[in-house]
Amino acid sequence: LQEVAAQRLEQVPRYSVRHEGPDHAREFYAEVKLDGVVRGHGEGRSKKQAEQEAAREAWAWLETEAATDAGTA
C-alpha cells in the first residue's frame, strides 16, 4: 500500500489505531487515510492485524480508483 500510494498519490498512508478492553482481551481498531480521507477500516486482536485489514480496504479503493481513472482518461 505504501509503495502504490507513494506512486499514485505522492504520499504515504497515515494510520490511526485505538484499542479497547482489558490486556488479556484487547481489541484493536485501525483507520488508514489516503489523501486526507479515511479509505480503510480494520479491527483485530493485534495492532498489526487491524492495520493490515485497513490497508486491504484502502488497497481495494486505490485499485478501483485507478480503474476508474483509466476509464476516463
Per-residue pLDDT tens, the chain, 73 aa: give them.
Answer: 888 888 888 889 999 999 999 999 999 999 999 989 999 999 999 999 999 999 999 999 988 876 676 555 4
Looking at residue 35, its pLDDT comes to: 85
Q: For the whole model, what pTM was predicted?
A: 0.83
DSSP 36: T
Looking at residue 70, its pLDDT comes to: 53
The H or E element that residue 35 is part of is: none
Beta bridge partners of 34: 37
Looking at residue 24, its pLDDT comes to: 94
**Residue 40: which residues within 8 A CB-CB, separation 6 or more?**
30, 31, 32, 53, 54, 55, 56, 57, 58, 59, 61
Looking at residue 64, its pLDDT comes to: 87
